[in-house]
Each structure stands twice: as structure tokens, then as C-alpha cells.
Structure 1
Amino acid sequence: MQTPFPKSDLDDFGPHFGLLSRQKIELMLRRSIILPQEDVEESQLQPASLDLRLGSRAYRVRASFLPGKERTVMDQLRALVRDEDAISLEHGAVLERGCVYVIPLLEHLKLPDSISALANPKSSTGRLDIFTRLITDRSEVFDRVARAYEGPLYAEVSPRSFSVRVRKGSKLNQIRFRRLNSQQFEITDFSIGDRELREHHKDAALVDGDLNLREGLIVRVALSARAHGDVIGYRAQKHADILDVDRVGAYKLDDYWDKVFARGDNRLILDPGEFYILASHERLHIPRDLAAEMVPIDPAMGEFRVHYAGFFDPGFGAAPDKRPGARAVLEVRSHEVPFILEDGQIIGRLVYEKMAEPPQILYGEGDVSNYQGQGLKLSKHFVMG
């Protein structure tokens, strides 16, 4: 039985627990649980998350860090960089490929004891190979905000393939909020089990074809011409021009990416250090009462990393014919040695979590759903074709 909080705590949030929808994020803004330093833009509000905005200054640091339990992020920055060396983002600045930056965000938090938060890069950020993580004061982990946290938020940003131009207000990562009952305070795994996923699949298909579950939905990579035609992926070029993260549909594909063509043996050899955009074999649909996240199937299964930006909003993949309608785009980087991927090889899994309530506006129903119905697709910055 779920233990409710006292009426005085979150009495206008309703009786349900889980990931909070857009309408509750709007309520958090009105209640000053989320404290934006400037007015929130409509485009920041997603079905189950809030896009975070870069502030006015960036700090280039020698290496990534976490502040630890006793320090703030600014304590660490004062020891690493001089304030006069801060980079102004007021009128835009270039973040160089291979460098690490820490950037205070325009959103601060004042969470109650019953709400925690977690973050991930936006889909477009991952597809540009920009490594981005959230940092909070007195924390020993990235991308997690402890319940009852009060304070600023920071983004660690490290462009890997392209140098990028950003400015105050640019949006690279997003945050989602989880409402907990008192019995969940020590829980770390909120994913729902395979049995419940089977029941969901009976009501509305989660995937086209067979349902393959292993503590979540198994996702396989598509490398054959049957899935995408001759082009089955893209590989980032080594020495491309600077890319502005706020310019949509402004760049030619061939200026930044090399096409990867299907081979007769339906294989792809990943070169160490190269970054690839691939796509899943499966077409997916995320039901309105669930959200999902891409996680590694098993770190021991291959010499590669997949999917920086692994969050899927409720409604992703919905199609008029009620069948799952969108592939998962896979951001893949090989590690120390060349590695052979084969068509249909398991590359990750989707784990699902319950929404506290369905969003009133699902992914694909708003004005900023850039990847609904996608197949193999680069970020919104590029003209495909």
C-alpha cells in the first residue's frame, strides 16, 4: 500500500506516484519548486521532462569532476579556474571539440522531500556527439538530483566530434522528476517487470514483430538494406566546421557526415574512436502511461557505447494505424579495438517506468516533436537527403 504524504506537502499533486507529466512540471514552476532565473519558454516543456538552458558563463576545466558530499560545484571551480577566465555566452561562444566545460544553468531547484530528479542529454545533443551530464552541489553522482535538493544546476559539456557554438539559453540536456511515496525513498530501480510489459503489449503493441524481453525490451541494430535502403548509418567526419546548436535545418549532411552503406554480409566494423549514427531493427511505441530509457544490455557484450540520449517520452512512435511507428536512433562509439556489428545483433534494451499520470500532450502532438515517426535520422540541424 502506498503511503501518502501529509496534505500540506503536495496536496495539489494528486494521489499518484511515478514520473511527473508536463502538467505537474508546470505546477512545480508555479509552486517555485523549479526556480528559473528567466521566464521559462513554452518549447522547454516536454510531455515528461523539462529542457534546461545554459546560463551566461562557461568554465573550461582540465578534467571532469564531481564535488563530493562536502563541496559545491563553485567550490571546485574556484580551485580549478579563475573567474576572469570564464567564457561569456551572452552573445555566443565556441566550445572546442575534445575540451570539457562546466556551465551553470538558468534553472535552479527547491525540491520537497518527496521528489527527486534525473537528467539526460536531449536527443539532438546525443546525435551531435556532445557528451553532457548534470552536476549538483554536494553530489557523488552525475545526472541524479537527490530528493529535497535545494540549489543550482550545472551542465558538464564536452563536444566529441564537432566544435559547437552555444549561447545563453541553448538547451543541451533535460530533467525529469519522480514523485516518491515514503516506501520508495531507498529504491534505486523503478523499472517495471517483464510480466507487466507483456500485459501492456497485449493492449497496445510496444514493438512491431515479436516481443523480446530481458528485464526490458531487447533492441537490435539494423544493418541491412532491407531496413533502410543502401545507407544504413552515418559516421562523423573528423575535421568538420563549427556547428551552431540553435540552428535547425541549417547544415548539409555531407559537410559533417560520411554515409555508411550496407554490405553484402550485413556487417559493420566499428573503428576505434569513431562516432556512428545507426538505427534499431524494431519500430517502437511508448504508451501514454509509460516512459522509457535506453540502457546497455550488458557492458561485457561489446567494445562500444550506445545511446547517450536514451529517454523516450510517452507517445513516442505513435502512428495513425496504431502500430509502432518509429525506430530508436542509436549513437554508437567504439572503444579500444575494432568491433564487428552484425545485422540483428542485440545492442541495448529499453526499460520502462510508470508515469504518475499520462501527459495531457503526448510526444508528437506538440510543436517540437522533431523525431516522431523517425527511421534512420540525424539531428534536427541537418537537411536529410
Structure 2
Amino acid sequence: MIDSIADGVLPDHILQALADQGAISATHALADRQIQPASLDLRLGDYAYRIRASFLPGQGRSVAERLDESDLVLHRLDLREGAVLETGCVYLAPLQESLALPLGVRALANPKSSTGRIDVFVRVIADGATSFDRVREGYQGPLWVEICPRTFSILARPGDRLAQLRLKKGETPTLNRLDLNLDLSHASLGSVIGYRARRHAPLLDLAKVGGHAPHDWFEPLTARDGRLVLDPGEFYILASQPGLSIPRNVAAEMVATAEDLGEFRAHYAGFFDPGFGVDGAGGPGARGVLEVRGRDVPFVLEHDQPVARLVYEPLAAAPAAFYGDVGSHYQGQGLKLSKLFQPWS
């Protein structure tokens, strides 16, 4: 099947065909809406390890072997009744999904939007990996996810979806690069131009979508004269200027770190599926919501400055459903917190 498909990001119906053929397998059947227009959500398994430090297995070595051979493991958590993953700690959990990729098909992982917006840093690891979030072509084996809550402790269970996977065939060319400019205008956004995370906030339950009042976790921000000073180490939710859309014939990825754009890290979660923000599907005029963390020194952000980049890539084929057709939480979004929170009021 793969030989007859054009190079590019693989859409939903091809992902489903790969699952039917066993190239994507799981300990539990794929769940409803787990396959997105151009990506696959990944689910936590039954347990997680609290580890001393992050690591990569390296060529020829599996993640499980590294855990068995080293003193990295501090203890094991059973997620089946729910377990708290604490702020500042590093965890490693097996995912329910495994891969048996055909030659010529590789995979790229990224945090889901809802994960990035609660400042949980996640990275996917494959056996033999020498880099995070990359799965080589022809890979056969399990997948693991490293989880590090940065600001909020979280309550996690099997099946929670913290990361997503995009499969690509061939050398997909970059079609376009687009800088996203920051919106700090009260005329555009209203009285609140962003949010800053509160320290020492309550526990966040990943299963309670829309079940958290946001005031205990975030404080609203205003901008004087279109400027905002980032404090080092603090986490912010900000928004790009409106007008963002992803055409139905491409997929896009937000570049997580653009060193030349300033003393901050913008956007943990980077996949934008085809149809995001387009006219007739919740757009036009959508914004990119930016998960921003200040670096080593205070830094002044100004209205209209570039803060992140989008990279556009071709699809191997048109998806069966576009973003927004599947009840997406962030279609046509403005400045918006994670789906775990109630609307700000």
C-alpha cells in the first residue's frame, strides 16, 4: 500500500489502514477520535516510573534494558487507580501504542495542545533512539513517553493522551515558513491579553475536561503600551494575531524553539492539522495560542513582534475529515486555556 502513496504527511484514512494492517498496534483497541486528520493521539499505559534523570537508550539498546541495567528508577507508580505526577519530577511511562513502520515511513511526535497549555513537558522515546520525538523508518517496537510537569502537578490514568504522532513518507519538502506575530493589543483581545501560571496551584485532573475553574491556576494579564515583561522561569499563555489558517491540502508544525526570536521558549505543542482556522470550519481569523516560558533574564515582549514559526508540509493525500469536522476544542480559537478549564469569566 505504501509504495502507491505520494510522499508527505500521512492523513487519517492511511493511518487507519496502517492500523488495520498492524503497522500501528495497541494493547487496547484504538479509541474514538484517536486518529486525527493528520496525526495519531498516543495513550498512557498502566504504569509509570519515577526516574532520577532523563535519558536516551542509544543505538542497539531498548528503553526497558536501560531501566533494568541502571539506577535511574526511583520507584514505579500504578496509574490504574490514578497517580499524581508531581511538579519538577521526571517520569517515564510505556504507551499503549507500538509501531511496525514500513520502510520509507518515519514518525515525529509532539505534545498535544492541551498538554502544552498546562506546562507539562513530554517527549516520546523509541528503542534505540538517539533523539527524542523521532522514530526512524522501518522501526518495530514499543513507544515510551517522558513526562515532566513544570508548574502544575497532574493526576494521570491509563488512556490519558499527552502526546501525538505524525507519520511521514519520504522526504517531505518544506512548502513555506511563516512567522507568527504576537498580539498584545487590548483593542484586539479585550481587557485580558494573556495569562500567567500561578505557583503552588491545586492538582489538575487530566480526566476532567472543562472541570477546573481557571482562577486557581492562572492570573489574567494586561499590557501597558503593548508591552509585557516575561519573568525568568515563569509560564505564560499568549496569542498570535488573528488570521491563522492551515489549508486543507497541507499540515503544519510550530517550531518549538527559535533561538533568534528572543530570550524565551514559545509553543511546546506544535502540530496543526489541515483545516485549522479555515473559512467554513470555524475560521477565518483563528489565532495560534502560544505557550511561553521566559529564559534566564527578564525579557520585554512587544505587540506585533515575531514569537514563533510555522512550517508547512504537503499531505500524502487528502484526509477523510478535516480539523473542526471531528469536534475539535480549539477550532477558530482566540486566547484560550487548555480544554481542562472552564471558560474564563
Range of TM-score over shorter length? over 0.9
For residues 183-227 of structure 1, give each alpha carbon's deviation from its aligned partner in whole angstroms, at most 9, with x where no partner exists: x4xxxx73114xxxxxxxxxxxxxxxxxxxxxx111111111022
1:284 and 2:284 aligned: no
1:176 and 2:166 aligned: yes
1:358 and 2:341 aligned: no
Aligned mates of 2:105, 2:281 — CA distance in 1: 37
Contact 2:52 2:73 in 1 (8 A): no
1:334 and 2:294 aligned: yes
Aligned mates of 1:37, 1:312 — CA distance in 2: 27
Residue 230 (structure 2) aligns with: 270
Letter of the 2:187 counterpart: R
Residue 7 (structure 2) aligns with: 17
Contact 2:256 2:268 in 1 (8 A): no
Contact 1:59 1:81 in 2 (8 A): no
What residue ranges of structure 1 are gaps of 5+ in the alignment?
A: 1-8, 194-215
What residue ranges of structure 2 are gaps of 5+ in the alignment?
A: none
1:244 and 2:205 aligned: yes
Q: Which one of the candidate residues 47, 50, 55 is aligned to 1:60?
A: 50
1:46 and 2:6 aligned: no
The correspondence of residues 112-151 of structure 1 with structure 2, limited to 5 A, is 112-151=102-141
Letter of the 1:281 counterpart: Q
Contact 1:283 1:328 in 2 (8 A): no
Q: Which one of the candidate residues 321, 330, 336 is aligned to 1:371?
A: 330
Q: Which one of the candidate residues 304, 324, 327 is aligned to 1:344?
A: 304
1:383 and 2:306 aligned: no
Aligned-pair Cα RMSD in Å: 1.7
Q: CA deviation at 1:337?
A: 0.6
For residues 94-138 of structure 1, give each alpha carbon's deviation from its aligned partner in whole angstroms, at most 9, with x where no partner exists: 000000001000000001112111010000000010000000011
Q: CA deviation at 1:324?
A: 2.6
Residue 206 (structure 1) aligns with: none
1:304 and 2:264 aligned: yes
Q: CA deviation at 1:75?
A: 1.5
Contact 2:197 2:218 in 1 (8 A): yes
1:34 and 2:24 aligned: yes
Q: How has the CA–CA distance of structure 1 residues 297 and 29 changed in structure 2, closer, same or farther, with 3 Å as cutoff?
A: closer
Residue 174 (structure 2) aligns with: 191
Contact 2:275 2:281 in 1 (8 A): no
Q: How has the CA–CA distance of structure 1 residues 313 and 239 changed in structure 2, closer, same or farther, with 3 Å as cutoff?
A: same
Letter of the 2:108 counterpart: L
Aligned mates of 2:193, 2:49 — CA distance in 1: 38
Rg bigger for which structure? Answer: 1
